[in-house]
């Protein structure tokens, strides 16, 4: 989670969206860090009496395939591809968000293109059709699993399957997920703007470079607000979907602690509700009376006060405090409790003045 000192160049109305987006990145990065630390990406199997010196250490996957260990080669490839793709994705997303803070908009878009169009797609493919992708990756030509060569219909099929398996259709329509990332005709998608950020001249009929011009390098001292709106109306949704896909894949690789998973699922839901609320008309009411602002969160008995039964996440104040501190506070009887044993990913000490700043940014 970034300090508010880094947000001065981001317009106030987009600052919570930026914080929420950075939180989602932090969650993904933590999967890599804790996963490697606990060795969940390693794979052990019965070698059927083989000695270690029999395995070709220079080319272990092909040796396994040639000696009847197809399943084991697939398990190893899945785990190693998963962590490598996720680590690479996090590096790009982090640097993109940091460049947004510095108003380096073109650099930020250039860095976003790979994780949202390529890395994420392979996560979705591993989730939707793992056997098919592993078969192509292990035994076929590289071009057979090159996402840039895939037909739109095949991409949409895989995206639809992945969404059905991870549950992201609850907040992101299937046509939106494709449109945000791949539809160059879409005025609300990132694809055309990522391409323009990378290339000085584009010939695509949907965003052909104008005469006597280069793409996106001539501008005044201020970045137009519509560019921030484009990024922060799409990127939080894409990263929410990314987290859901990663979580679904992670549950296939290792056993996830239910209590911890529930805690982080709740925190994402609260953060998403605050993000949606921050751009809604209701936020204007809450700016003058924070206790009047109510979020669209279901009455979950798991987040009810043990003392008085009051719903603990019904107000902007209580939801914001939980999102930043990982603590549930009852606004009725003033009791507090942690939802989990450990603080949330991206934990940072923030005083109650954060509420005032949040409401000022709405």
Does any domain span residue 262? no
Coil, helix or strand for 276? Answer: helix
Phi, psi of 339 (to 5 degrees): -80, -25
In-domain check, residue 295 = yes
> Domain range spanning residue 316?
280-362
Pair (249, 331) in one structural domain: no
CA distance 343 to 26: 13
Is residue 230 domain-resident? yes
The 10s digit of each residue's pLDDT in 325-349 is 878 887 778 777 765 554 444 434 3
Q: How far is CA 91 from the centre of its chain?
A: 13
In a domain, 12, yes or no: yes
- Residue 147 domain flag: yes
In the chain, the number of structural domains is 2
Q: In 3-state terms, what secondary structure has residue 209? A: coil
Q: Are residues 22 and 97 in the same domain?
A: yes
Last residue of a domain, one of 209, 240, 256: 256
Specify if 269 maps to a domain.
Answer: no
Is the domain of 245 the same as that of 294? no
Q: Is the pLDDT of residue 114 over 60?
A: yes
Same domain, 249 and 286: no
If asked whether residues 225 and 326 sit together in one domain, one would say no
Strand pairing category for 336-338 and 327-329: antiparallel
What is the number of helices (H) and of strands (E) in the chain?
Answer: 14, 2
**Same domain assignment for residues 165 and 207:** yes
Q: Assess whether 155 and 298 both reside in one domain.
A: no
Residues 193 and 335 in one domain: no
Q: Which residues contact 316 (CB under 8 A, 6 or more apart)?
A: 274, 277, 286, 290, 291, 293, 294, 295, 355, 358, 359
Q: Among 150-164, 166-180, 231-245, 307-321, whose mean pLDDT is lowest?
A: 307-321
Q: What is the DSSP string of 180-206?
A: HHT-TT-SS-SHHHHHHHH-SS---TT
Q: How much is the pTM?
A: 0.84
What's the CA gap between 320 and 332, in Å, rounded?
16
- The answer to whether residue 191 is domain-embedded is yes
Q: Which residues are CB-neighbours of 43 under 8 A, at least 6 positions away?
A: 72, 75, 76, 79
Is 132 domain-assigned?
yes
Mind listing the pLDDT tens digit for each residue in 229-277?
888 889 999 999 999 999 999 998 888 777 778 888 888 988 998 888 8
Q: Are residues 332 and 217 in the same domain?
A: no
Residue 231 sits in the same domain as residue 121: yes
Per the listing, tokens 């060795």 go with 39
Do 97 and 188 sit in the same domain of this protein? Answer: yes
Residue 320 is predicted with a pLDDT of 85
Q: Is the pLDDT of residue 88 over 80?
A: yes
Share of the chain above pLDDT 70, in %: 80
Distance of CA 148 to the CA centre of its chain: 21
């Amino acid at each position: 989670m970034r300090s508010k000192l880094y947000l001065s160049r981001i317009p106030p109305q987009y600052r919570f969206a930026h914080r929420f987006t950075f939180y989602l990145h932090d969650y993904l990065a933590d999967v890599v860090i804790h996963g490697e630390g606990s060795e969940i990406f390693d794979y052990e199997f019965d070698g059927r009496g083989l000695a270690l010196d029999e395995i070709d250490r220079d080319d272990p996957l092909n040796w396994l395939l040639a000696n009847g260990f197809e399943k084991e080669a697939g398990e190893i490839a899945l785990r190693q591809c998963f962590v490598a793709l996720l680590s690479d994705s996090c590096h790009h997303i982090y640097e993109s968000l940091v460049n947004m803070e510095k108003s380096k908009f073109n650099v930020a878009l250039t860095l976003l293109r790979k994780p949202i169009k390529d890395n994420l797609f392979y996560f979705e493919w591993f989730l939707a059709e793992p056997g098919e992708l592993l078969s192509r990756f292990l035994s076929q030509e590289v071009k057979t699993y090159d996402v840039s060569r895939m037909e739109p219909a095949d991409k949409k099929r895989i995206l639809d399957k992945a969404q059905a398996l991870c549950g992201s259709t609850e907040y992101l329509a299937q046509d939106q997920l494709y449109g945000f990332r791949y539809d160059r005709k879409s005025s609300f998608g990132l694809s055309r703007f990522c391409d323009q950020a990378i290339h000085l001249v584009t010939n695509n009929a949907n965003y052909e470079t104008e005469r006597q011009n280069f793409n996106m390098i001539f501008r005044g001292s201020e970045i137009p607000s519509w560019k921030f709106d484009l990024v922060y109306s799409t990127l939080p949704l894409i990263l929410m979907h990314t987290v859901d896909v990663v979580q679904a894949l992670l549950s296939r690789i290792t056993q996830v602690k239910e209590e911890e998973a529930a805690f982080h699922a709740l925190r994402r839901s609260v953060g998403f509700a605050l993000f949606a609320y921050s751009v809604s008309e209701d936020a204007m009411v809450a700016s003058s009376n924070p206790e009047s602002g109510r979020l669209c969160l279901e009455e979950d008995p798991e987040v009810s006060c043990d003392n008085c039964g009051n719903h603990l996440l019904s107000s902007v104040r209580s939801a914001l405090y939980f999102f930043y501190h990982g603590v549930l506070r009852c606004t009725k009887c003033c009791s507090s409790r942690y939802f989990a044993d450990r603080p949330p990913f991206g934990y940072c000490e923030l005083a109650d003045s954060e509420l005032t700043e949040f409401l000022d940014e709405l």
